[in-house]
Structure 1
Amino acid sequence: MDIASLVKKAKKGDDESFELLIGSVREKLYRTAYVYVRNEQDALDIYQEAIYTAFTSIHTLKKPERFSSWITKIIVFKAIDFIRKESRHFTTDDENVFAGLLSSDNADSSLHSMDLTEAFTSLNPTAKTIVLLRYYHDLTTKEIAALMKSPEGTVKSHLNRAKKQLRPILKEGYLYE
């Protein structure tokens, strides 16, 4: 069943359809929350809050095919709110923070994830969010601009600056257009 029809059923109160929708994005949502808060329990709390918010406000989703980016927006803002409330700073000092994001079958996956973790420490929070949304969630710059309520040109500028900053740090092959 496609996303649009599941969203329509969920809007009518079909809990099973909502569960199927969440199942399709569950792992990405948790990992996104974890990247922000760096703590398993906090990430689970944010994840649960986001799911509840999505469940109670799914009727506000105007374009059913945009469910994934809509719920990603919810989790990103919940994570940012959590960080603000806890007076925490976005850091990426823990080893292998992105190992889960970059898991693959090849043996040097952990080496690549350490390179990426080290490179991410040099980015500001806005750039980290944009890079994460662009390359992990595969959102377009237009979708990111809408999600962040910024002009598309600003998102492109942040993305280009981040790529220039990351290029010398990372080995070839990470950043694709």
Structure 2
Amino acid sequence: MGKFSYSENLLIKKAIKGDHNALGKILRKNHAYIYKMAYIYIGNKDDALDIMQEATIQSMKSIHTLKEPDYFLTWFCTIMARQASKVINQKIKIRALQNTSEFEEPADLSKNTNQTIDVLEAVTSLEDKYRLTLQLYYYQDFSVKEISELLTVPEGTVKTNLKRGRDALKRALGEDYYV
């Protein structure tokens, strides 16, 4: 997303001062982008909507901490990433307790001519921890250190998840996908 228009900047400044209606308006104006990012973070519609809702609640509580209006979407997406991380960790715990493969997403990818669809399907088929790490690194341009702090995991774990996620994408898309 680029810079905000003058009217959007005014809405963000009003929101920072505590105007919840202004916050609602700016979120509605950017709903499509926010939903897309939430979906990429979590990989399914229901969870994406849940993390959007939780992020909205969190943003209402902490909007006063936003210093630069131009970074509103980055700030909001960071909140969503934290929510996604919580959901993913809960899912991991549930899977460990149930110890079944019933909840695993199928790795079957349809071969589309559209490269974007291929990549999106491959990314959404990844394990949650790999998908979230790759999304933060490549789509949100977070550094390894920033991802480590955001997800409260060691930098080595972030690097490992990036490597394993890339390897899984390479396997899903094929060795010569970009050649």
Partner Cα distance (1:22, 1:87) in 2: 32
Cα distance, 1:136–1:119 mapped onto 2, change above 3 Å? closer
1:172 aligns with 2:178: yes
Show structure 2 runs of 5+ residues with no match.
96-101
TM-superposed CA distance for 1:172, in Å, is 0.9
Deviation digits for residues 88-138 of structure 1, max 9, x if unmatched?
697543878xxxxxxxxxx933x65245424653x4322211111223334
| Structure (1 or 2) with the greater helix fraction | 2
Distance in 1 of aligned mates of 2:13 and 2:76: 15
Cα RMSD after superposing both structures = 3.8
- Does the C-alpha gap of structure 1 residues 143 and 58 become closer, same or farther in structure 2, counting only changes over 3 Å? same
Cα distance in 1, alignment partners of residues 108 and 172 from structure 2: 16
1:113 aligns with 2:117: yes
Are the counterparts in 1 of residues 123 and 131 from structure 2 also a CA contact under 8 Å?
no
Note if 1:129 corresponds to 2:126. no
Identity %: 33
Structure of greater relative contact order (alpha carbons < 8 Å, 6+ residues apart): 2
Which residue is 1:99 aligned to?
Answer: none
- Quote how far apart the aligned CAs of 1:54 are: 0.8
Q: Normalised by the size of structure 1, how large is the TM-score?
A: 0.62
TM-score (norm 2): 0.62
Contact 2:43-2:124 at 8 Å conserved across structures: no
Q: Corresponding residue for 2:57?
A: 52
Report how many aligned residue pairs link the two structures. Answer: 160
Gaps of 5+ in 1: 97-106
Residue 131 of structure 2 aligns to a residue whose secondary structure is helix
